[in-house]
Amino acid sequence: MGCCWAHALFFCSSVFLAITQSTAVDTFNSSQPIADGDTIVSAGDTFVLGFFSPRNSSTNRYLGIWYRNIPGQAVVWVANRDNPINGSTGLLTVNSQGNLALLSSLDEDGPSIWSSNSSRPARNPVAQLLDSGNLVVREAGDDDNFLWQSFDYPCDTLLPGMKLGLDRRTGFDRYLTSSKAADDPSSGGFTYRIDPRGYPEIIQREGSTERYRTGPWNGLRFSGTPYLRPNPIYMFQFVVSDQEIYYSYLLDNTSTVSRLVLNPNGVIQRLTWSGDTQGWVVYVTAQMDFCDRYALCGAYGRCNIRSSPVCNCLRGFEPKVPNEWELVNWSNGCVRQTALNCSGDGFVKYSGVKLPETRRSWFNVSMSLEECRGNCLRSCNCTAYANIDIRNGGSGCLLWFSELIDIRELEDSGQDIYIRMAASEIEATGDSETNSKSSTRKQVIVLSVVLSAGLLLICLALIFFLRHLRQKRQREMGGDPEDNARFSTNKDDLELPLFDIAAISVATNNFSLSNVVGEGGFGPVYKGVLKDGQEIAVKRLSKDSKQGLGEFKNEAKHIAKLQHRNLVKLLGCCIQEEEMILVYELMPNKSLDYFIFNENQSMLLDWPTRYQIINGIARGILYLHQDSRLRIIHRDLKAGNILLDFEMNPKISDFGLARSFSESDSKTNTRKVVGTYGYMSPEYAIDGIYSVKSDVFSFGVMVLEIVSGKRNRGFSHPDHQLNLLGHAWKLYQEGKYEEVIDNTVRNSCDLEQVFRSVNIALLCIQRSPEDRPNMSSVVLMLSCEGDLPQPKEPGFYGERDFVEVAKSSTNKYSADISITEIEAR
């Protein structure tokens, strides 16, 4: 009897061993699905793919990957984390198109509860579990070309070789999401992902609320992670390029087992397996202490864990709400004791700190610290500067253009930041980091007291020196004086600095194609850097351009005399060697259409930023129409002509088609209609009549595009043939205005602001110019909360409105105008 049991046991063991060996492979294909109970094992015996149940549930089944030889089933990836299978009937297949599909039953034709959704078809696909823990789908025989990989879809664990970050070319974002609990792999409330705005850094959030940030990368580590340093466990890198932004790491020794985990409580930890203790050891934790809580001390506050209380204001600042600070509530932060005055400011140096939040920052990797300081001084909105890279004495430039938030003092491995202060505050604190102008002024005062007899001589010498410097600069910028004189006689006193063509050529790398940042009706626009480090945008008239000297002079004439924070700044021009060039301040965030009409880029414009842009455009147009030296009708307002600065503030550009008008003019007409389809008002497009109300119409179109993320021209909807204007009008009449909102901001926007924006836009695009509000009323309506008028039917709200009206129009203002004379863009 015992012998029979022994034979039976041996038989069962042999069968089990045979089954195990038959499934212990690292690949499977369409003819070899993985059923619950089967597993595949990576070639190096490191990872296992199969079905599992967490400790708290015997019925919920998940498809996951875990370490093969580590007790406790440490799961590193789950396919169906938010959609478990009830029971052991799961089946994983790979179909002929190269898609993995997880089924809840053994019926291969049944519905899937999870799919890999590979975007590229395959002829002979196979799935393979690599020794890195990466589950990939590839063509049989092609080991390097992955059709899909699990590394692109991390859960709560970052394994060696994985990328945490953003592919800028596709908008694809890889980030960690915590599990709900240690024994519940479903998605929890915390995320850990790269924020690409300004200079990128990694942000940990609970829902939409920021809880922790790493600080910006400084060449060695993230500014707020002093523990991230060379070590015997792993190597790390942070990559910022035009193509992608990501953090990744590799293990120094492949026999070491280590992983980065975002745990259910939102703590980022590096765990390393210890063979001695047979357990996971916390090697390092990102959040070190109380001071790592995001913005704990508010704006211009600094946190020092060794102090009591931990929060204090920076020197020269005081609590914004003193009573709250006495109650240990620091959230409202600090304010300046002395306001900045721009021209006389200096800097106070702080060492050993975690740099403040960088989402509203600007950076240049090649600029020196002194050039960085100069750039900050030239911008009245710049609040601080620092090196980007602290290696080899420091390099690169990082500028802040907003309140400084989330600064903490570090015991070691912190870095330097230079914070802008009023000169009187610097003198009061005795800080040595002062503005060069302030230092010069002190020297002059001392010299005037001690050497009063020689003051006149010093002044005369200074005047001579400044005159010589000005003449030298004029030669560098203006080139041949004869060229300057020739332009002066033809430029109608444009009051513009003249640049030398050689200086512009050097700044743009000889007008290199790699420096092209845009293209307009005028010609290409190049990015450049002058000798003093100032970044510029160079607008060069193309030989093939339909525009010419008239448009060149028109833009120079109008914009040279305009100064407003929502208008792009013209720095000068050049007409040497048959070139016609306009030189502007560089807008680093390109144009508005680059963001709102791109599905991936639009995610970077949240609703508060969009509403800020709408308000900024309105104020800029109001300045043109009412407050500028020359009252201006722009005539080509569109999303492509709205540029965005460091802080995503809008600046109106491209004044080549602009016209000035007098106080007595209410409207005028033209025989040559120029502009952009989709933005032109009916009376202008059909009858050639333009007025300030033409710009108001264009503004209304832009508002609807900003809200919806859709272009007016080319808009389509399966239920009707209306354009975007008609679609918004239809939804407004049906009380469904919220359906026009861009999906990327739908869940986070202020519905009252959205409704007000849509209502104002519909008022601006009314068919009759007399019904449209002027821009002063628009600005007032955007800033107030009162009731708004009911809009009337829009103009051009059907796809064929323009052509049909043009054909049937009896033009009472200029009967000889025709549709073919319109120079639309």
Dihedral angle computed from the Cα positions of residues 760, 765, 769 and 775, in that order, rounded to the nearest 10 degrees: 40
Give the residue carrying structure tokens 């110019």.
769
Range list of H helices, 631-750 = 682-687, 692-708, 724-733
Phi, psi dihedrals of residue 74, rounded to the nearest 5°: -80, 100
Beta strand extents in 492-618 (DSSP E only) = 516-519, 524-529, 535-540, 570-574, 581-585
Residue 605's closest CA among 196, 135, 123, 42? Answer: 196
Q: Collapsing DSSP states into helix, strand and coil, what is residue 756?
A: helix
Question: Count of CB atoms within 10 A of residue 18's CB?
Answer: 10
Q: What angle do CA 88, 94, 95 make, to 5 degrees?
A: 125
Q: How many CA atoms lie within 13 A of 19 on its CB side?
A: 11
Q: Is 276 a catalytic residue?
A: no
Q: Which class for 167: exposed (0-12), middle (13-18), buried (19 or more C-beta within 10 A)?
A: middle
Beta strand extents in 580-738 (DSSP E only) = 581-585, 632-633, 642-644, 650-652, 659-660, 668-669, 674-675, 689-690
Tell me the two tokens of residue 22: 């038959």
In contact, 643 and 569? CB cutoff 8 Å = no
CA atoms of 395 and 366, how far apart (whole Å): 7
CA atoms of 127 and 134, how far apart (whole Å): 10
Q: Collapsing DSSP states into helix, strand and coil, what is residue 141?
A: coil
End-to-end CA distance of the chain: 95
Q: Which of 26, 195, 500, 636 is catalytic?
A: 636
CA atoms of 246 and 136, how far apart (whole Å): 20
Residue 373's closest CA among 571, 533, 565, 569? Answer: 533
H or E element at residue 397: strand 397-400
Residue 338's closest CA among 239, 429, 437? Answer: 429
Q: Give the residues across from 62 on adjacent strands.
A: 52
Q: Between the CA of residue 568 and those of 295, 499, 587, 649, 674, what are the distances in Å?
A: 33, 18, 8, 11, 21
> 626-630 long-range contacts, Cβ below 8 Å, gap at least 24?
626/775, 626/776, 627/564, 628/561, 628/562, 628/564, 629/561, 629/562, 630/558, 630/561, 630/562, 630/660
Tell me the two tokens of residue 266: 């939102």
- Would you name the residues annotated as active-site residues? 636
